[in-house]
Amino acid sequence: MQKTIYHIGRLTEEEEWRLDFADGISRPVSERIALGFAPMKLPVIDDQPYRIFETMRDYREWAAKSLPAWLGYGPADA
């Protein structure tokens, strides 16, 4: 853990960047990994614990019509 730094006035962008970097690098890797993920609810996907499809074609058709395009589960050529 680094010594606390007090600064009166506004920091420059570079000073702020350096302090943020020093704070991040002082954390253990496991904590940095945990802080690197932002949990989010995925629409439609998180609505049910699981789904069963007879074929991959059935899954692809369901994904194409049910999931928002920004999730990236649509057809590769789209």
Q: Is the dihedral of CA 26, 31, 32, 35 positive or negative?
A: negative
Structure tokens at 73: 């589960």
Structural element, H or E, at residue 22: helix 13-25
User: What is the Cα–Cα distance from 71 to 63, expressed in whole angstroms?
Assistant: 10
User: What is the Cα–Cα distance from 57 to 69, expressed in whole angstroms?
Assistant: 18
Prediction pTM value: 0.48
User: Cβ of 13: how many Cβ atoms within 10 Å?
Assistant: 8
Q: pLDDT for 2-56, tens place per residue?
A: 677 777 888 899 999 998 999 889 999 999 999 888 888 888 888 888 999 999 9
Q: Where are the domains of the chain?
A: 1-38, 40-78
